[in-house]
């Protein structure tokens, strides 16, 4: 059995023609530099927007008494400490803790972890978890 090549068939082009060129991202970018530059710019802008909105996250709200344990665990450490101060101001320190925001935060962490183990993290509030209302 013989193999037919471009030179044997009479069709096709000379070596190095576009028929012999392999497709690659580099060759596409060389053929269409403006489109490649615009595409790259769009990708860079989209990545920058994604990073900016993830870091800044302007929709974060302060935690309140009705916040669930799931919201507590998703809150930033600064939000958790701020809520601990609010809790101390509204309710005072509770048993076995000093009037220390870190101790209150640790107690809420323990209560919400227990609620999570019981599958109640989405349904029970931080106050409910502290009162063991699950």
Distance, in Å, from the CA atom of 50 to the CA atom of 56, rounded to the nearest integer, reads: 10
Helix (H/G/I), strand (E/B), else coil: 5? coil
In this predicted model, what pLDDT tens digit does every residue of 63-98 receive, in sequence order?
Answer: 777 888 888 888 888 888 888 888 888 877 665 555
Distance, in Å, from the CA atom of 129 to the CA atom of 134, rounded to the nearest integer, reads: 7
Q: Is the pTM of this model over 0.95?
A: no
Domain residue ranges in the chain = 14-56, 69-130
Tokens standing for 103? 């101790």
In this predicted model, what pLDDT tens digit does every residue of 114-129 receive, in sequence order?
Answer: 888 888 778 888 888 8
């Amino acid at each position: 059995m013989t193999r037919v090549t471009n030179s044997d068939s009479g069709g096709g082009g000379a070596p190095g023609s576009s028929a012999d060129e392999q497709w690659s991202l580099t060759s596409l970018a060389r053929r269409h530099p403006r489109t490649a530059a615009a595409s790259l710019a769009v990708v860079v802008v989209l990545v920058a927007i994604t990073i900016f909105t993830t870091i800044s996250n302007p929709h974060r709200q302060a935690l309140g008494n009705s916040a669930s344990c799931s919201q507590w665990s998703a809150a930033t450490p600064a939000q958790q400490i701020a809520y601990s101060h609010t809790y101390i101001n509204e309710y005072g320190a509770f048993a076995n803790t000093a009037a220390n925001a870190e101790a209150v935060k640790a107690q809420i962490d323990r209560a919400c972890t227990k609620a999570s183990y019981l599958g109640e993290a989405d349904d029970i509030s931080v106050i409910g978890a502290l009162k063991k209302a699950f």
